């Protein structure tokens, strides 16, 4: 059996954040909302020690490539609408 696995990498800028504690609060909120709304796996994968920058990875396993791609595109749009962050770059990969 083949199940498509797709990955979205999102590089974020947090311009109003001035501490790691503030950054963790925002990243946790984003992660929780993505898990709840889209049923995806989410993790901060880079820049953990930089307080105004973050990279999150969002992974989805689906029955079809089309569904996986649509889900990640919806996630991308959803993250782009957060007030506290600016999306600097995104990349979708099929694994």
pLDDT per residue of the chain (95 residues) written in tens, 0 to 9: 678 899 999 999 999 888 899 899 999 999 999 999 999 999 999 988 888 999 999 999 988 889 999 999 999 999 999 888 999 999 999 88
Residue 75: its pLDDT value, please? 95
CA gap 26, 56 in Å, rounded: 12
Query: What is this structure's pTM?
Result: 0.88
pLDDT tens-digit map of 60-87: 998 888 999 999 999 999 999 988 899 9
Domain boundaries, the chain: 5-94
5-94, which class in CATH? Answer: alpha beta
CB neighbour list of residue 42: distance below 8 Å, 6 or more residues apart: 30, 31, 34, 35, 56, 57, 58, 59
Does residue 39 come out as left (phi exceeding 0), alpha (psi in the -120 to 50 range) or beta?
left
Beta carbons of 82 and 15 less than 8 angstroms apart:
no
């Amino acid at each position: 059996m083949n199940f498509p696995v797709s990955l979205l990498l999102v590089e974020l800028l947090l311009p109003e954040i001035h501490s790691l504690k503030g950054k963790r609060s925002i990243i946790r909120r984003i992660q929780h909302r993505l898990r709840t709304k889209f049923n995806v796996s989410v993790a901060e994968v880079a820049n953990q020690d930089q307080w105004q920058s973050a990279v999150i990875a969002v992974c989805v396993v689906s029955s079809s490539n089309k569904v996986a791609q649509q889900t990640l595109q919806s996630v991308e749009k959803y993250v782009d609408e957060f007030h506290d962050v600016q999306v600097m770059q995104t990349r979708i990969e099929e694994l």
